[in-house]
Structure 1
């Protein structure tokens, strides 16, 4: 028959509190995973939705939504920005961003033209010329890519000629560099088989996809089980050893 030692009140309190905390953290991670999965579904639905006029969402885009928009403007083709070594392609290359000027607006819209593969050397790939007149564009109105860890300050200000290259994209720094305000999001153009750019825009969770949240949830639940197991082991009364008398 298993015997148990009566635990101290404080050990019971600490065990219950720790287990409850770990369970709460696990549930929170599951909630984050569900939220991000809903974002993925909304993102996928937006890619095939009918475009809405850009002015409807330009200054105040809906939170947690990625509208597909139609916009008309003129390229500032001599002001390109190259995001170096995008994570979605291990071959090397750049993601190309060019500002678009809208008629009657001082604000500029930064447009993601897509990924341009590297040339196999350290030189930036040659950018194709853009049309000089007004163009009609369609694409997703997305939050800008995360800036990550900014080392060395403003890399754009230190470059005198375009295209300018950076390892992160900060809309505030781009606006300062252009001396004009920018819209709060970027336009990721629709895929075009005839374009030289590869236009694939997987949803960016900044290294925290839904699967990782679920893994963390499992970890927190495991901690809760471990706390209870340790409590039981510490308060289990050992049977006395039997000694044989001769």
Structure 2
């Protein structure tokens, strides 16, 4: 017959509090997973939507939405920025950004031209020339890529010539470097089979996709179960050993 020791009030309170905390954290992770899956669905739907005029969303884009827009402007082709980020290709490479000047607007729109694979050496890929004059562009109006750990301060200010290379893209630093304000998002151009740039834009979860949130949720729920398993082990009486008296 299993025997149990009477638990103290503080051990019960501590166990209930710990288990409740772990369950709450697990539920929160599940909610985060559902939220990010909804972002993925909205992102996929936006890529197939008809483009809207850029002016409708330029200064105040809708939160958690990725409008597909059309815009006309002129490339500042001598002001290219290269995001040194090898996430697309095992050989590495760069994501190319260039400011677009809109007629009569003080702000510049930073355009994501796409990804250029690395050449296998330390040299930057050869950039094709950009068209002169006004161009009409279509693409998704997206939040800028996340800012990483800023080591050594503003890397753009110390580079006297373009194209300038950086390991993270900070719109505030780019605006200071250009001497003009920028719109709050970047334009990720639609895919173009004729372009040398790779434009398979994927939504950036900053290393936390929905599956990882669910894995963390399972971990927190496991901790909640472990609390009660440990509680039961600590309060289970051991059976006395039999001794043979001869």
Output the TM-score relative to the length of structure 1. 0.99
CA distance in 2: counterparts of 1:230 and 1:153, whole angstroms: 49
CA distance in 2: counterparts of 1:228 and 1:152, whole angstroms: 49
Q: Secondary structure at the match of 2:70?
A: strand
Contact 2:42 2:66 in 1 (8 A): yes
Question: Who is 2:191 aligned against?
Answer: 191
CA distance in 1: counterparts of 2:85 and 2:216, whole angstroms: 29
Alignment of 1:21-32 (within 5 A): 21-32=21-32
Question: Who is 2:65 aligned against?
Answer: 65
Question: Who is 1:45 aligned against?
Answer: 45
Q: Deviations over 1:155-205 (max 9, x none)?
A: 000000000000110000000000000000000000000001000111101
CA distance in 2: counterparts of 1:8 and 1:204, whole angstroms: 49
Aligned residues: 246
Q: Secondary structure at the match of 1:50?
A: coil
Q: Secondary structure at the match of 1:3?
A: coil
Question: Who is 1:18 aligned against?
Answer: 18
Question: Who is 2:229 aligned against?
Answer: 229
Identify unmatched segments of 5+ residues in structure 1.
none
CA distance in 2: counterparts of 1:214 and 1:150, whole angstroms: 30
Q: Secondary structure at the match of 1:236?
A: coil
CA distance in 1: counterparts of 2:200 and 2:53, whole angstroms: 22
CA distance in 1: counterparts of 2:24 and 2:81, whole angstroms: 44
Question: Who is 1:200 aligned against?
Answer: 200
Alignment of 1:59-208 (within 5 A): 59-208=59-208
Alpha-carbon deviation of 1:126? Answer: 1.6
Identify unmatched segments of 5+ residues in structure 2.
none
Q: Secondary structure at the match of 1:95?
A: strand
Which 4+ stretches in 1 moved above 4 angstroms? Answer: none
Q: Deviations over 1:8-49 (max 9, x none)?
A: 000000000000000000000000010001001100010001
Q: Secondary structure at the match of 2:87?
A: coil
CA distance in 1: counterparts of 2:22 and 2:140, whole angstroms: 39
CA distance in 1: counterparts of 2:86 and 2:186, whole angstroms: 16
User: CA RMSD for the aligned pairs?
Assistant: 0.7
Output the TM-score relative to the length of structure 2. 0.99
Q: Secondary structure at the match of 1:87?
A: helix
